[in-house]
Structure 1
Amino acid sequence: MGQEPSETEPSESEPAATTEAGGEQAGDEASAQSKLDEEGDAAADYLEELLDIADLDGDIDIEVKGGRVYVSISSEEGTSSLESLVGQDSATLEALQELTRLAVLSSTGQRSRFVLDIDGHRARRADALKVIVGAAIASVKADGESVALKPMSAYERKMVHDLIAEADLVSDSEGEGPQRHVVVHASED
Structure 2
Amino acid sequence: MTTSEQTDARITPTDAQLEQEGDAAADYLEGLLDIADIDGDLALDVRGGRAYVSVETEAAGSLGRLADPDTVQALQELTRLAVQSTTGRFSRLILDIGGSRDARQRELEVLVDRAIERLEEGASQASLPAMSSYERKLIHDIAADRGFSSESFGEGAERHPVIRRA
Q: TM-score, normalised by structure 1?
A: 0.74
Match of 1:80 in 2: 61
Deviations 1:117-167 (A, max 9, x none): 001111111112112202212321331432121232221111001222333
Match of 2:121 in 1: 142
Deviations 1:36-75 (A, max 9, x none): 1111100000000011111111111101122221100012
Supply the distance in 1 between the matched residues of 2:155 and 2:48 (Cα, whole angstroms): 29
Deviation at 1:175? 3.6
Supply the distance in 1 between the matched residues of 2:26 and 2:96 (Cα, whole angstroms): 12
Match of 2:35 in 1: 53
For 1:82, the aligned partner's letter is L
Q: Is the 8 A contact 2:67 2:99 kept in 1?
A: no
Match of 1:110 in 2: 89
Q: Is the 8 A contact 1:144 1:186 kept in 2?
A: no
Percent identity over the alignment is 49
Supply the distance in 2 between the matched residues of 1:161 and 1:33 (Cα, whole angstroms): 25
Larger radius of gyration: 1
Match of 1:38 in 2: 20
Structure 1, unmatched stretches of 5+, are: 1-27
1:161 aligns with 2:143: no
Q: Is the 8 A contact 2:43 2:54 kept in 1?
A: yes
Structure 2, unmatched stretches of 5+, are: 1-8
CA RMSD of aligned residues (A): 2.0
Give the SS at the match of 2:37: coil
Give the SS at the match of 1:157: helix
Q: TM-score, normalised by structure 2?
A: 0.83
Supply the distance in 1 between the matched residues of 2:48 and 2:108 (Cα, whole angstroms): 22
Between 1 and 2, higher relative CO (CA 8 Å, sep ≥ 6) is seen in 2
Higher helix share: 1
